[in-house]
Each structure stands twice: as C-alpha cells, then as structure tokens.
C-alpha cells in the first residue's frame, strides 16, 4: 500500500492481540523517529522502548487502564527535555560539527541563536517547545508503522507526574509527553475496528492563500 492507503488502513486501535512485532519492523519505526525533523536540529527528546510486561502492568493504571498498554508488543514513551540548557545545546552543535568534520560559521551562528533564543523563555515554555518536537517524531512513527501494516496507538491520557517518577525521568532531565502502543489489532475484540474513519473534508482543513 502507498502512504495514503496505509493511513486509511490505520485507526486508533483499542484492543491488541499481544503478538510480538518483529525487531526489524520496530527498528524501522525507531529509525523514522531518529530521522524526524526538529527545531534547529536539536532533537530535544528521548524515546524509551518498553517490552517488559511487568513494567507495562505498572504503567497500566497510570495510563487510566487503557488496554493497549497491556496488550501491545512494544510501548514507546516520548520524553522531551525538561529544559533547553547551554550544556545540551552545545553538545548538539559539537556533535553536528564532529559529524560534518567542520565547525562552520553557519553552525556557529545557529549555536549562538539557539543559546540566546531559549535563554529568553521559562523552563516550562522550553519543555512545551521540546514536546512539540517529540510529537513530530511520533507522527512519523505512526506513519512508519502503518506502512508496515502494524498498528500504533498514540496516547496522551496518562498521569505524567506518576510515569516520570516510575521511569526516574526527572533524574535524567526529562518529562513524559506521549505514549505509543505498537502491536496488532484484535479483530475479535476491538469495537473501534468496524467504525468508519471520520476526518474533516479537505476544504474545511486546508486553505490555499
């Protein structure tokens, strides 16, 4: 299937079978996240891949008892930076210069812009900016899963503070923003599967100027 057919195929999977998704499929989804664009190329988030059923069971009540948390093959936790710090920004640009084997005047101007720009916002504002970048990665992950005929259910419904403590994210300078359950739909049990996909008409969503 092409990208549009794949996105027509996908839906918000409410029940999964528990069947394991092959590593090569998971790795393609994760690589799509790694290759996702982000503001100034900083990639200000990390992704935790949860395969432990015992850990999923601990997350289940934190995520308001949503079935995909227990029934998925892999559960992704998107964890943006809790703040943009000079250390993090400098590390990102040092890595960029190492990979490109040069310290260009362009990258150094970008470095100074980033240092000055994010210094002008509060920690909470910077977290929300980082979370937006993580959501771009999540969007590509959803598409990558659909292209491989694998179900992916994004979830914002969870107690972030409790999940952060469970995964010890504050110690890493991170905060959770989204979950994504990856697995296979349960055709026998998912009430949402037979329902028709509903989206706005193109003319209500898109405006040409």
Indicate the average pLDDT of the chain. Answer: 97
Is residue 149 in some structural domain?
A: yes
Helices 23-34, 123-147: crossing angle, 10 deg rounding: 140
The string of pLDDT tens digits covering residues 142-174 is 999 999 999 999 999 999 999 999 999 999 999
The distance between the two most distant Cα atoms of the chain, rounded to a whole number of Å, is: 59
Mean pLDDT for 188-199 is: 97
Is residue 103 in some structural domain?
A: no
The DSSP letter of residue 65 is: T
Residue 106: the pLDDT is 83
pLDDT score of 103 more than 80: no
Q: Which of 104, 88, 101, 105 is nearest to 38 (CA)?
A: 88
| Secondary structure tally for the chain: helices H, strands E | 9, 4
User: What's the rounded Cα separation, in Å, for the pair 180 and 69?
Assistant: 9
Residue 5: the pLDDT is 98
> What are φ and ψ of residue 148, in 5° steps?
-105, 10
Is residue 82 in some structural domain?
A: yes
Q: Find the DSSP H helices in 63-201.
A: 67-71, 86-99, 105-119, 123-147, 160-166
How many domains is the chain partitioned into structurally? 1
Is residue 186 in some structural domain?
A: yes
Is residue 115 in some structural domain?
A: no
User: What's the rounded Cα separation, in Å, for the pair 133 and 140?
Assistant: 11
The string of pLDDT tens digits covering residues 11-20 is 999 999 999 9
Domain CATH number, residue 63: 3.40.109.10
Residues 18 and 4 sit within 8 Å (Cβ to Cβ): no
Mean pLDDT for 116-130 is: 98
Residue 153: the pLDDT is 99
Kind plus residue range of the DSSP H or E element containing 56: helix 53-62
Residues 17 and 183 sit within 8 Å (Cβ to Cβ): yes
26: three-class secondary structure by DSSP: helix
Is residue 107 in some structural domain?
A: no
Is residue 154 in some structural domain?
A: yes
Is residue 85 in some structural domain?
A: yes
* 65 CB neighbour count, 10 Å cutoff: 10
Task: Give residue 164's domain range.
Answer: 3-90+122-205
């Amino acid at each position: 299937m092409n990208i549009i057919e794949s996105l027509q195929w996908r839906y918000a999977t409410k029940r999964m079978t528990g069947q394991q998704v092959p590593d090569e499929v998971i790795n393609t989804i994760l690589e799509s996240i790694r290759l996702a664009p982000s503001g100034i190329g900083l990639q200000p988030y990390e992704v935790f891949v949860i395969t432990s059923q015992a850990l999923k069971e601990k997350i289940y009540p934190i995520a308001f008892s949503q079935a995909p948390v227990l029934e998925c093959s892999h559960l992704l936790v998107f964890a943006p930076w809790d703040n943009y710090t000079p250390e993090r920004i400098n590390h990102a640009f040092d890595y960029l210069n190492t990979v490109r084997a040069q310290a260009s005047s362009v990258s150094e101007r970008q470095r100074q812009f980033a240092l000055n720009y994010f210094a002008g916002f509060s920690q909470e504002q910077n977290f929300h900016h980082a979370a937006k970048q993580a959501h771009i990665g999540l969007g590509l992950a959803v598409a990558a899963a659909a292209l491989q005929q694998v179900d992916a259910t994004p979830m914002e419904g969870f107690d972030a503070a409790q999940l952060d403590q469970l995964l010890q994210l504050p110690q890493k300078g991170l905060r959770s923003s989204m979950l994504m359950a990856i697995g296979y739909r349960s055709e026998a049990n998912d009430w949402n599967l037979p329902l028709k996909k509903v989206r706005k008409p193109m003319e209500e969503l898109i405006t040409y100027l």
